[in-house]
Amino acid sequence: MLPPPPISTSTPCPLSPETKLKLQDALDNSLGPSMTCSYRYAVHLFIAFFEKEKIPSHLRWPADEFVLCAFAASHTGCLTGGTVKGYLAGIRALHITHNAPHQRSIRL
């Protein structure tokens, strides 16, 4: 397993400690329990994929577009497109939560 990604501390403007706590709480609780569980499972599968495929660490976080495409393609014939889209949404949510750039293209 990878350590959790670092949370970006860069903000466009200074915020009070109270507002920072409220912002973090909103991000941490923005998804319901069922969705959180599904997204965690997607991230678990993604980590297992790049361990299996020996994806270099610099392409893992933030997730490289080619790696995201390969992950999605690895499920061809096994899962529905909707399920794979859900997995990609979980990976995207992780990027958003940690203020990391997310590689999004028409291929995804």
67-107: per-residue pLDDT in tens? 999 999 999 899 888 899 989 988 888 887 777 777 776 67
User: Does residue 104 fall inside a structural domain?
Assistant: yes
Number of domains into which the chain is organized: 1
SS (H, E, C) 76-91: CCCCCHHHHHHHHHHH
Query: What pLDDT is stored for residue 53 in this prediction?
Result: 95
- From residue 48, alpha-carbon distances to 10, 43, 55, 60, 64 in Å are 30, 9, 10, 11, 16
Q: Rounded to 5 degrees, what are φ and ψ at 100?
A: -105, 150
Contacts of 41 (CB under 8 A, 6+ apart): 90
User: Does residue 53 fall inside a structural domain?
Assistant: yes
The residue among 61, 72, 73 whose CA lies nearest residue 101 is: 61
Segments forming the whole domain that contains residue 72: 38-108
Can you give the C-alpha Rg of the chain in angstroms?
Answer: 15
User: Does residue 92 fall inside a structural domain?
Assistant: yes
Query: Is residue 31 pLDDT above 80, yes or no?
Result: no
pTM value is: 0.69
